Amino acid sequence: MTEKSRNDLKKYVEQWKKTGPILEEIRRKEIREINTTQVILNLSDAFDICLKSNHLRDSSGLVEMQSLLRRLRS
The DSSP letter of residue 57 is P
Averaged pLDDT of the chain: 91
The CA-based angle 39-40-42, given to 5 degrees, is 65
CA distance linking residue 12 with residue 22, whole number of Å: 15
CA distance linking residue 74 with residue 72, whole number of Å: 6
Give the start-to-end residue ranges of the domains of the chain.
Answer: 3-73
pLDDT at 52: 85
Q: What does the pLDDT look like over 6-41, one tens digit per residue?
A: 999 999 999 999 999 999 999 999 999 999 999 999
